[in-house]
Structure formats: C-alpha cells, structure tokens
Structure 1
Amino acid sequence: MAHDIERYLNVRSAHSASFGPNGDRLGFLLDSTGVPQVWSLTDPGGWPEQHTVFEERVTFASWSPERAEFVFGMDEGGNERAQLHRYDLASGAVANLTATPEAKHRWGGWSHDGDRVAFTSNRRDRSVFDVYVQDRDGVGDDAELVFEGDGWLTAGGFSPDDSALIVSEAYSNVDQDVYVLDIESGELTHLTPHEGTVRFRSAEWGPDGESVYLVSDRDSDTLDLWRVDVADGTFSPIASDPDWEIDGVAVDDESGRIVYSTNVDGYTELTVGDLDGDTIDPLPDPDLPRGVAGGVAFDPTGERFAVTVTRRGSPANVCVVEADTGIAERWTHASTAGIPPESFVEPELVHYPTFDGREIPAFFSLPDDDTGAGETPVIVDIHGGPESQRRPAFAAVTQYFLANGYAVFEPNVRGSAGYGKAYSHLDDVEKRMDAVADIEAGVEWLWDHPAVDDDRIVAMGGSYGGFVVLAAMTEYPDLWAAGIDIVGIANFVTFLENTGEWRRELREAEYGSLEEDRELLESISPLNNVERISAPLFVLHGANDPRVPVSEARRLVEAASDHVPVRELVFEDEGHGLSKLENRVEAYSAIVAFLDEHVA
C-alpha cells in the first residue's frame, strides 16, 4: 500500500544526544511536533519527556556537566542567527543567554565545573566571528570577549582544567586551522601551521590537557587521526585507513576513552578504545546496524556513549553503547507514522564511468514493484555542498518516491566529501562544469539499465545541488523530463554578492572570486543560459535564506517562464531549506503534483 506524502513526512527522527550530569538522563532532539525540540529519557525505550515547546526548530542541546540544565540553540524563521538559551529542568524556565538577535552564535561548550559557557559570534562585525566566554547565568552583554577574530572561528571545548579553549578557523570547507586559546591572557597558540589546503577537523582535548586529537589529511589524500602536542606542536600518527577517511573523533578526558568513525563508501564504521600515549588499546566494535552513525557523546563515567544511528531502511534513533563490550541498546523509538519499516527500500551502491575514466559512486534504489521492462521513471537526486556526500541515511521523501514507482539515483560527483582530498578538488573554480558532466554520465548509465524509462528522468537538488540541476538542464537539456530546484544558486555572481557576509570568503575559495573569476562565474551561471532549458521547472525557496538569497529564485523564475512551464513556491518563514513540517508537507505535495503532471 502506497501512503500519501504527508504520512512519509511524519516519520520522525531522534538524534543529537547528550547525557545529563549524573548519567541517569539522556537528552536528544526529536521532531514529533514537526520541528526538532529537546526531549529526554531515563530508561531505554521509556516514554520520553518533552522540555522545549517552540514553533521554531532547536538546532542543538548540550547538558550541563554539573547541574540539571542544558543550553540549546534556536533561530527564527530559518535565518540562522541562532541565540543560545539555558533551560532549567526543575522549573522549566528558559533564559536567553545571548539576547542579540541580529547576530549568529555558534556553541563552544560547557566548562567542566558547569559555571561557564563558550561560543563564537559575529555580533561585533557581521563578517567575522569572535570568541566569548560567559557565566551560565549571564545574559546578552554579560559575555566576555576573550579573542577578536578576523575570520570564521569556532570554539571546540574547554581544556580539562578549564583554562583554555580549542579554536578552529575555516578558510574553506577543505582548509582549516586549529589553535589553543588561553582564556585569561588571550594568547593564541597555532597548532596546525601549513601551506596549501589542508583539512584539520573534529579537534578534541586529550585527557591530560597537554594534547589535542584531530583528523587531518596533512600527510595523505585521506583524513587520518593524529595527536598534537600543545607545547611543541609535534604531530604523532594515531590511526589511518589507506582507502577511506577517518571523519570524526570523540575523546572522554575523564576515562581516556576514544571513539572514531571511518567513512567507508558512505557507511560508518566505529572504532572504540582506550588511549595509551600515541596508541589505542582496542575495545570491541559496537554492535550497531550497518548505516550512518555519528554524534558520539560519553556519559559522565566514560563507560558508555550515546550515538545516533540511521540507515535507509530505518529513521534516526539514539543507541547507547557499553564501551567495554560493544553491546548497543536502542534508547529511542522514533515513529514510522504507521508505515511498516519492512517496506522501506535499501539502496544499491554502484559505481559508473564518467568522461575522464573515473568511477563515480552512487546509490541507486528501485521500487519493489519494478518489472525490469524499461518502464520506471528516475529521480536523479543531487546533494548540496558541494563538499558534502550522499550517504545511506533514512530519507522520507526518497521512500515516498520509491513507494510510488520512481527509482532514485544519488550520485556523489567529483567535489563530494568522503573520497579524499584529490577527489574533493576536482571541481574547483574553472573545473566546476566537470561535476555537471558527471551527472550526464550518470544519466547515460541509467539509459543502459533495463528498468529505466529513458524519457522520464528528473533532476532534483538543493542549494549547490540546485545549481547542478539548473546547470544540467542548460548544458544537457535533452536529458530531462523535468527539474526541481530547491534553494539553488542560479547566478554565481549575484549569489556571492548577496550571500551572508560571514560566508562570502569561504564560498569564493570554492567557486572562484568576484574580483578574479567574474567572467568565468558569469559564463557557467545557469541564469545566463536559461534559454537552453527545455523541460518543466519547479523552483522552491525560503524568503529568509541567508546563504542563497531568494532573489536567485525570483530572477530564475522570471527568465525561464518565457519559454517553459515554471512553478514557484516561496515560504515566508523558512531559510536555507525547509524545517517546518507544514511547509515540508506543502512543498513535497506540490512536487508530487508537479511530477504527476509532467512526468508520470
């Protein structure tokens, strides 16, 4: 039985867990009200207690290490100007810690005594982020500016003695630095000096506070796990995989436990152990289902950790793992809205050849009722980023399409994360359209598949994926039965001119600069080639989008409406994407109607 899109969009997810100060309460985000809110459990599988009750999404929640309280983030209408709030569990009282609604605030963690919090914010200058420390009961201007930045700074946690902070600076999605900031003196120690582009990510304090663990591709094409000595900057290798990337690490400074994740062609493998200098004494691998896992959070003893697990056949839920044994127990049971989980389709991991002989990885899913007789329409679903990766996590809309007879093809074209440094740079600046050529090669692969109807192939994508949709429709107009652009870039020049000040420099590092590459950016912008689009087009956007301004959608719709059927849908209370359930229901119901009209 095929359910309507609203039923699929009511499938819930539980994620982003952290333990309360005594380890007897597990907090997490759950979207059962339509947007993520903070809930908690005291027993696995128990009835959860809801704490926050807002119409806006909660973006994270972090429990105090000493008190029955947590800090959470929330923006307004998707504008990404998150404010930090403190919630008291006993009274339910909510205090706005930052109270600067015109600025962005990025969470940096609790001090170990639970008396202070750290964050970065662009409240002084909209184009840069500074580091702040604030008493837990302070409000707004009570925050102390401990370091003035000149770029995109993120605080990464207090040292074990609470005297210092890890601070990361991003120059682009593939180039970062890590520092240690002495809070009292404001002195900044540079741990990762380098030339060229090098990734330094997921930095965590070592148990003694004298070292930092992080992942980096400083000596290889893929991300490896390293230990950095704070005093002298010496790097020591801890773990590596010759083929795949170690993409995250969590360290418990009380127990010396470590968990790191390896991205194996999109699937997560977790490794657990006890730190012993520059080595790890291994513990049993967690007994978790094969899928995508992340968001590791230790309990106060370090004996257990919570982790979010999802796979294409199961929505996100929180499991708790016993570190010594690897035994995992599922704590949350997010609803599947009455849809039998066994009806959800798992994808096939495939690799297809492209124009330069490379093999492009992709996930391909066929509906259960496919006959193999060349009758199945396909949605080519293109991820954003571009330094992102399509992974086999649960996707309600994907399952809806499959249940209604559409196949779904999800390529990780060049520029995607997860496949090494060289692969991520293959689409930089003047090579941008090579990624679009990978999409054309994917369609050729689909043409050779016995199940696929060549005349009913749809391009769909969001953000940078929206650009790829539009570029594929202008470069290869004869391939498509329709296109769906969600918060996509139509013109790189106007996008860079109008995107948020805090992110323009980061995006220029990937796409090219307005000063040096304007002619190239104009030449590859779909809006300047819009007359080539020959298939019906649906454009969706959020009016409050701070990343890709809604003006991109307005110009595109006006230009394309002259010669192809175009539908436009703009949500006044959304930003870069759709977070509210009622808006997602409206948007995807409209997409389904659009496909029924032009493709089915």
Structure 2
Amino acid sequence: MKAQSTLSLALILAAASACSPTASLDATEPGGGGKANAQMLAKGTANPDLIPRELLFGNPDRAAPRLSPDGKRIMWLAPDEGVLNVWVAPAGKLDAGKVVTKDRLRGIRNAGWTADGRYIIYAQDQAGNENWHLHRIDPEVGASSDTDLTPNPEVRAQMVGGSREQPKFILVGINDRNPAHHDVYRMNIETGERTLVEQNDAGYAGYVSDENLELRYAYAPRPDGGIEILAPGGDKAGRGHGKKDWAPIEAIEQIDSMSTQDAGFDASGRYRYMIDSRGRDTGALIEIDTETDERKVLYQDPKAELGGVMRDAKTRKPVAVTVNWDKPRWEVLDPSYADDFAALEQVKPGNNFAITDQTREGDQWIVAYYSDKGSVSYYQYDRATKDSTFLFFINEALEGLELASMHPRVIESRDGLELVSYLSLPPSSDPDDDGVPDEPVPMVLLVHGGPWARDNWGYNPMAQWLTNRGYAVLSVNFRGSTGFGKAFTAAGDKEWAAKMHDDLLDAVDWAVDTKVTSKDSVAIMGGSYGGYATLVGLTFTPEVFACGVDIVGPSNLVTLLETIPPYWAPMVAQFTTRVGDHRTEEGRALLESRSPLNRVDAIVKPLLIGQGANDPRVKQAEADQIVAAMTEREIPVTYALFPDEGHGFARPSNSQAFNAVAETFLAGCLGGEYLPISDIGDSTLQVPAGRELIPGLSEQLDD
C-alpha cells in the first residue's frame, strides 16, 4: 500500500445491519426514530443453510507459499492453534510441514525468505497500531529463534532494500530518532546490528536502493503535492561519485504523483525502471539508462494503469506486465517467456493468474490462479518442463459451493466519465448467469477504501457473503480511484462528498433503471474512505439509502487531517491538495462543509459503525464523535468497537463478530436472509451504543 493512501483498507473488512425496505426514521421528530427503528428489526429470514461466516471470513487453510531461493524448501502461512503462523516443508512434501513461529494474537500475514534462504523475515505490529517490527526466524530452529530486529515498541520499521549479492544484510528504515522521518540503516540479519547509512534530516519520503544496497535516489515531497527526485551530488546515474549531499535531478508534478513510481534496477545497476505517467495519461513502464539518461518506453496501455511487473530472476529485467481495465491481462515483453505464459494459461482456462514467487535461478515459479467464483489455487511451475504441480487451495471448502459471478459493468457518470464497476447477483436471482436478475433484488453499494485505490474483478468474500444472503452487490470505481489514468484520479481532487459522491448516486440510478434493484432497497457500506462515503450517503443524501454500514470511516475531515500519523508527515501535501487544506481558513471551510459530523441532524436511516481502538489512520475519535452527536440528538446508532484492532479487523474472531452484527442489521434493513448471531466467540467486541437495536446481540454479550 502506498504511503499516500491513508484511508485505504489493508484488510478485507466485512459488515451487515438491522432495518426494513420500507421503514425509515422519522426525520421530522427528533428522537422519534427510536420507535421506528425498533419496529424494523429482524425483518429478514433466518436460514441455517447459508454459507457460514467462518468459511468466508475465517483463517485460510493455507496461503502465500514462497519457495526458498534454492528451491529446496517451501514456506506458507496457515493456522496454528487458530492463529496464522509460518510453516516450512521440503519442496514437494507439504504434508511434512512444521510450524516455525508461535504468534498467538493477530496472526502473521507478511513473510519471506532472506536472499540466501538462511532465515525467514516477517512483519508484525501490536493490536493494529501499525508500528511494524521486523522479526527474524531460523526455520531450522523454529519459534525459539524468533528475534525482533527492531524492538523499540514505538518504532515503525520498513524495508528499504535487499540484495542477492549481500544476502546477510538489508536496508531498513527506522523512525526511532524522529517519528516523522525514517533514517536508513544497514542491518545484519543474523545479529541485528545496524549501521547508519542515511540520517533523514531533510524529511525525504523514501529512498531507492540497488542490488548492492547503495542508496541511489531519494524522494522529497513538495508543498504543492508534487515530488522531487534527488541523487547524491545531483548525479543522474545516482552514484554521486562519493558525495553525500543530495540534489534534485527531476520532478514529478502533483497530477503525476500517484501514477509515477520507481520500479527498481536491473542486476547490473545501470538500468533503472519506472512506471511513469509524465507526458501521458496512464503510467508507462520505462527503462532509463542511468549513464546516458536515455529513456525507452517498454509498454503502455492507453486506458489502464499497469498492475504489476514480472522480472527475470537473474537479470532483473522486466519480462511481462499486467494491465487491468475491467479484468487483468498479461502482456509479454520478452519473447523467450511467451511459451511459459501460454503454458500457464492452459492450466486453468478462464482464470486469471499471477506469478507470486520464483527461485534465484528462475527455474521454479509459484503461480496463483484467481476466479470470481472460487478459492485462489496455487501451483508450482517448472520452467524447463512447462509442467504445473498443484499445491493447495486457500480455502478448499469453497470448491463446489454455489457462488456468485462478478460481472464487469461500465457505468457512465452524469458528466461522461466511464466508471468501471462490478456487479454480483444472488445465483437464484440470475439462473442464466448473464448479470441480469429475473426481478429486482435488494442491493448493497459496496464502496472501496482509499480513495486512491480501486475495486478489481475476482473472488471477493464480502460480495459472496452478501449475495448468499440475497443481495445484489455493486462496487464502483468512482472518480479519484487509481488505475484508470491520472486525469480520472485528479477528477476527484477536492470532490469528497461532491462529484465523488455523485458517481455513487449515478451508479445507484443505473442499478434502479436496469432493474437490478428498486429505489427503496439500497444500502451503502464500506471501509475507510468507503466508511466516509457511507456517512456522506446518510447525511448529504439521507433519503437515497435504506441504511448504512460504516467501517473505520472518518466523520470530520478536519480532525482526520489534524491527526495524520507522524510517519506520513512527508505526504501531507498529497492530502491538502487532493482533499483540502486544514491549515488555511478557506481549506478548513471546505473540509467542514464536506464533513458528515456537521450534518448529523439529517440522518433518518439506520446506521451501524465499526471501529478499531488502535487505528492510527482514522482515530477512534472519528467514530466516537459522530456516535456522541447522534446519541445527544436521540438518533439511533449501533457502535461496534474492538479494543485490539486498528484500521480494519485482522483477527478472524473479530471479523466474524462484526459480520454477525452487520448481517442481522442488513437483514432487518433490506429483508434478506441471515444467520442469527451466535459466533461472537472469543472476539473482543464491545458495543458502547445501540446493542438493543440488533436482535440477539445483548444475549451474546451478556453470556
């Protein structure tokens, strides 16, 4: 996730809630909504045969396989005592796997081999606070060798670079000297000893290193939201001839700042790669000869941003890219790889795939296959024989279930923008699977976070959960989303609660006009920016939506920007130029006018709010203040708070608990099916307000 995306969800969140298709709170009688809300509870239908929430939102069976650099071992993530941990086995012998870590709290979600395969490094925070620490494990020893390489509890560590040439060392950014700025250290992986490489007094947002662990470039944010690229001594090759001072060599304007980024070096360090939108609308993959500054475009799509770059394991030169407009596709750049991609396409025709890992020699790959109607499956690909060997499904129990298709749709906004969207329907409502229901069904408008992110085609547990309960699900890439060119992203600048919201309203109108749903049967829900959009929906357009589910969404844009985490200080200009400047009178007035907290009196439909107490991006105060304002006005609201979560619900027990509450809420609101609340389990769910509005919730909490 990019540092700029302060509201992006790092996790898949879930929700559901309690109201009826025709009922609404009485907007003319303050506090009168309490009776109306109570009358609309549990209007849905309890159905014990629905797909269990645990199956959709619990731990995966296995996930994220990684081959050791020599290909002799394989690691993956899987539960141990109900918590995701790292497992290791000899390659080809998964059944001989042994767990090598012992996390008993949040689970490990990001781990990889060191360049020599000697150790495994994983990242972990505390209770969702996003102060990521780097841990080192010796897989031969196991959990007793677990060493926190960055043990200061207030530190947020981030990887800057690794190297095949110097496998015992990594470059790590650590903000222990100044919370706002990461200094760069060269760290010995085995001992944890570190040597200062760069003291970041200038407040650079990041650095680029090569295969020799040399810092070649730095990125400095500009007050206008643009970025300055600097090099030692101003040398364009980034080598600086031994000079320690940094000087600018080129600039990235504000409009290009989210579609231009570094893509590393080749093995020689001479050729640098970038995704670069300067002089074009979408980012092109370019190759830069750092000695001559000659630039060559390797690939560009006129409509969509590049989704990823695959590189040769030895030369580190790009060999293929993914492009994603409505569905992802591969474009092969190196003809010597054409047969490999042709072979991979035959393994699971109709599925998309991603190469997620390869050995040091590039002879063995890990390939993940994705569809919209089933679990991700992993294969090991042998490049010499062109054979693929099945490894595992992420969730084998999903195979054979009746799941919903995801249909790409392009919806035109009122001012002519193309909004790439995705529609999923309950299978029973669309027996011929053409994306058109036999008759209108209740719908959930599911709004992505970011907003500088995008929705994608593929398996989505939230969409499967909601369609299984009887709802259509529509996800819209509204203006401001990334992935569709810089002009589309820039069209969202300073349009929070304005044209960005208009796009969502236009999508609802499209769904009503095409008889996907009916006007009074649409809920809005989402996480992070999607939570903000939910609050906007219920305050700026209070009669459009039947109810809303807000997950970690900001209610006041001024307080949101005033509490940006210190380590995002270099990126403040991105927020002030794209959202509004809380430091000026004019900017503050704009932000106040776009803040749902200032329009609480307009709320006439039921609202469910979910929040993590340790969220460093959208502080708990964002939820507390709107709940307090609604309570003061006797406007019903249900508030689900998790004391051990951050920006999203990482622990499966917490995710399932919130989904149980949300599912009952939505069943009352839209009249769908639901599984009664029964799996609060060992979650830490607290409900400071509105527990009585959710049938069965008080009984579960009182047990």
Q: TM-score, normalised by structure 1?
A: 0.90
Aligned runs of 1:93-104 on 2, under 5 Å? 93-104=145-156
Q: Counterpart of 1:362 in 2: which secondary structure?
A: strand
Aligned runs of 1:456-495 on 2, under 5 Å? 456-495=521-560
1:376-429 Cα deviation digits (max 9, x unpaired): 111100001011111123222321211121111111111111111100111101
1:556 matched to which residue of 2? Answer: 626
Of 105, 122, 131, which aligns to 2:175? 122
1:52 matched to which residue of 2? Answer: 101
Equivalent AA in structure 2 for residue 193 of structure 1:
A
Change (3 A) 1:19 1:12: same
Of 233, 251, 258, which aligns to 1:193? 251
Partners of 1:29 and 1:332 lie apart in 2 by 12
Change (3 A) 1:422 1:212: same
1:388 matched to which residue of 2? Answer: 453
1:111 matched to which residue of 2? Answer: 163
Q: Alpha carbon RMSD of aligned pairs, Å?
A: 3.0
Change (3 A) 1:507 1:14: farther
Aligned runs of 1:365-380 on 2, under 5 Å? 365-370=424-429, 372=437, 374-380=439-445
Would you say 1:592 and 2:652 are equivalent positions? no
What's the CA shift for 1:539?
0.3
How many pairs are equivalent? 593
Partners of 1:536 and 1:441 lie apart in 2 by 22
Change (3 A) 1:19 1:524: same
2:591 matched to which residue of 1? Answer: 521
Say which is worse superposed, 504-513 or 398-407, in terms of deviation: 504-513
Say which is worse superposed, 451-460 or 98-107, in terms of deviation: 451-460
Partners of 1:88 and 1:152 lie apart in 2 by 34
Would you say 1:536 and 2:606 are equivalent positions? yes
Say which is worse superposed, 308-317 or 179-188, in terms of deviation: 179-188
When Rg is computed on C-alpha atoms for both structures, the one with the higher figure is 2
1:542-593 Cα deviation digits (max 9, x unpaired): 0000000010000111222335421000100000001001100101001011
Asked if the contact 1:154/1:168 (under 8 Å) is kept, the reply is yes
Q: Counterpart of 1:81 in 2: which secondary structure?
A: coil
What's the CA shift for 1:499?
2.6
What's the CA shift for 1:190?
5.7
1:212-253 Cα deviation digits (max 9, x unpaired): 112111221011111122234332211122232223224346
Change (3 A) 1:526 1:61: same
Change (3 A) 1:572 1:16: same
2:87 matched to which residue of 1? Answer: 39
Q: Percent identity?
A: 24
1:144-184 Cα deviation digits (max 9, x unpaired): 2424154463455542x444466556679996566667698
Change (3 A) 1:262 1:204: same
Asked if the contact 1:25/1:42 (under 8 Å) is kept, the reply is yes
Change (3 A) 1:327 1:154: farther
What's the CA shift for 1:368?
0.9
2:9 matched to which residue of 1? Answer: none
Aligned runs of 1:83-482 on 2, under 5 Å? 83-92=133-142, 93-112=145-164, 113-139=166-192, 142-148=194-200, 150-151=202-203, 153-155=205-207, 158-159=210-211, 161-164=212-215, 186=244, 188=246, 192-198=250-256, 199-252=259-312, 254-256=314-316, 258-274=318-334, 284-285=340-341, 287-288=344-345, 296-322=356-382, 328-336=388-396, 338-370=397-429, 372=437, 374-430=439-495, 433-482=498-547
Change (3 A) 1:39 1:187: farther
Change (3 A) 1:257 1:229: closer
Change (3 A) 1:405 1:512: same
What's the CA shift for 1:259?
4.1
What's the CA shift for 1:298?
2.7
Partners of 2:340 and 2:220 lie apart in 1 by 35
Change (3 A) 1:293 1:565: farther
Say which is worse superposed, 519-528 or 56-65, in terms of deviation: 56-65
Say which is worse superposed, 29-38 or 338-347, in terms of deviation: 29-38
Partners of 1:34 and 1:267 lie apart in 2 by 34
Of 111, 118, 132, which aligns to 1:68? 118
Asked if the contact 2:376/2:395 (under 8 Å) is kept, the reply is no
Partners of 2:566 and 2:84 lie apart in 1 by 27
Equivalent AA in structure 2 for residue 584 of structure 1:
S
What's the CA shift for 1:46?
2.9
Change (3 A) 1:17 1:335: closer
1:524-554 Cα deviation digits (max 9, x unpaired): 1011111112110000000000000010000
Q: Counterpart of 2:578 in 1: which secondary structure?
A: helix
Partners of 1:406 and 1:273 lie apart in 2 by 42
1:502 matched to which residue of 2? Answer: 567
Change (3 A) 1:152 1:538: farther
1:570 matched to which residue of 2? Answer: 641
Equivalent AA in structure 1 for residue 132 of structure 2:
A
Asked if the contact 1:222/1:420 (under 8 Å) is kept, the reply is yes
Change (3 A) 1:307 1:513: farther
What's the CA shift for 1:323?
5.1
Asked if the contact 2:326/2:408 (under 8 Å) is kept, the reply is no
Equivalent AA in structure 1 for residue 100 of structure 2:
H
Of 51, 54, 72, which aligns to 1:24? 72
2:615 matched to which residue of 1? Answer: 545
What's the CA shift for 1:508?
2.7
1:421-460 Cα deviation digits (max 9, x unpaired): 1001111015651010111111111112334233221100
Change (3 A) 1:330 1:187: farther
Asked if the contact 2:301/2:323 (under 8 Å) is kept, the reply is no
Partners of 2:624 and 2:253 lie apart in 1 by 41
Consecutive unaligned residues in structure 2, runs of 5 or more: 1-48, 232-237, 431-436, 672-703
Q: Counterpart of 1:554 in 2: which secondary structure?
A: helix
Partners of 2:265 and 2:356 lie apart in 1 by 15
Asked if the contact 1:119/1:154 (under 8 Å) is kept, the reply is no
Partners of 2:88 and 2:614 lie apart in 1 by 31
Say which is worse superposed, 511-520 or 539-548, in terms of deviation: 511-520
Consecutive unaligned residues in structure 1, runs of 5 or more: none
Partners of 2:538 and 2:389 lie apart in 1 by 46
Partners of 2:653 and 2:223 lie apart in 1 by 34
What's the CA shift for 1:85?
1.0
Equivalent AA in structure 2 for residue 209 of structure 1:
G
1:582 matched to which residue of 2? Answer: 653
1:299-329 Cα deviation digits (max 9, x unpaired): 1102333344433223334444455786554
1:470-526 Cα deviation digits (max 9, x unpaired): 112222211111100000011100111123122251433431221131100000101
What's the CA shift for 1:595?
1.3
1:11-31 Cα deviation digits (max 9, x unpaired): 627555543131222334446
Q: Counterpart of 1:454 in 2: which secondary structure?
A: coil
